[in-house]
Structure 1
Amino acid sequence: MSTIDWSRFVTRINVSAPIETLYLAWATRAGMESWFVRLSEYRNNDGKERAAEEQVIVGDTYKWLWHGYSDEAVEHGQILDLNNKDYFKFSFGKAGICSVNIRPEEGEHIVELIQEDIPIDEQGKLNFHVGCKTGWTFYLANLKSIVEGGIDLRNKNVKLKQVLNS
């Protein structure tokens, strides 16, 4: 009998950076493109694209494209909740809902990502629980690498396939 809750997971990393810097890494196009995706197009309720440094608000939508993948690998979603400080929540396509909490712990700052409402059929278990947790683990490590040392670990060569960093 499995004791794994396939409908959710939590992954955390400590990052030596101000909470504001870590929050803006999620809440702005420039932030997301610095460590996560090659394109982060945030749009307001009127469909107008937000500027690179402009913070998103609840109800905004996004379009994300990844390095190492063609434009057909696109994710669309919506910003569901935030507090303009240390909490950011968004829909993540068929993979569920993601919440990001940034907080002090033991003298450091922790970035914690919770993905929940993951479908628990076989595809959901493999693609969204295992696949997304693997992806988020890498991307949170890349966030730490970018913020702490400026080294981008992402694969930006679309011809390289099945590598951990894309």
Structure 2
Amino acid sequence: MKSWETFTKRIRINKPIEEVYNCWATKSQIEKWFLEKADFIFENRVRKPHELIQKNDDFQWKWNNWDFTEEGQVLEANGKDILSFTFGSGGIVAVTLKEVQYGTEVELIQKDIPTDDSSKMDIFVGCITGWTFWLTNLKAYLEHGITLHAKGLSQDETKDLVNS
């Protein structure tokens, strides 16, 4: 039986684990492949662009091409291979990195997803599709120095756009 409460996505990236971790755990890197703007706040100060996030940091994320800022908290960040964070009404996202031959495997688990009918479609299906794209975008960025997402468009311009 399918569970609507959680899903797992994995991807292999031909880069060292430290480089992959930094793409998740620093403002300067996460803004290149995932977010338009990311602020990580601890003790009323915003972390510097290359400073690693820490457990209990609060964050404000501005999505690309969408007039919405997500607020949440870093639940875990060990500085090496594990991090997790709240994901709005979508529950919790946990990212684990593992060294493998020729690079790093990224495993992303989203859990505690609500199971009402609206959440099944909007959160479960929306996020599983979204993470497939964003993990692919991370791989493109790290391995080839390009990003696949459209930037600087209005919400109307991104309707049905697969790379937004």
Bin for the TM-score computed over the shorter chain? over 0.9
1:103 alignment partner, one of 95, 98, 104: 98
Is 2:122 the partner of 1:124?
A: no
Tell me the amino acid that sits aligned with residue 117 of structure 1. Answer: D
RMSD: 1.1
2:120 is paired with a residue whose SS is helix
Q: Distance in 2 between matches of 1:74 and 1:134?
A: 20
Tell me the amino acid that sits aligned with residue 26 of structure 2. Answer: T
Unaligned 5+ segments in structure 1 are: none
Query: Structure 2 vs 1, CA of residues 60 and 15 (structure 1 numbering), >3 Å: closer, same or farther?
Result: same
Superposition TM-score, scaled by structure 2 size: 0.94
Q: State the partner residue of 1:47.
A: 44
Q: Per-residue deviation at 1:74?
A: 1.5
Q: State the partner residue of 1:69.
A: 66
Q: Distance in 2 between matches of 1:108 and 1:48?
A: 34
Aligned sequence identity (%) = 38
Q: Distance in 1 between matches of 2:95 and 2:145?
A: 22
Unaligned 5+ segments in structure 2 are: none
Deviation beyond 4 Å, 4+ runs, structure 1:
none
Q: Distance in 2 between matches of 1:31 and 1:106?
A: 24
Superposition TM-score, scaled by structure 1 size: 0.93
Aligned residues: 161
Deviations 1:9-44 (A, max 9, x none): 000111011100011111110111011001011100
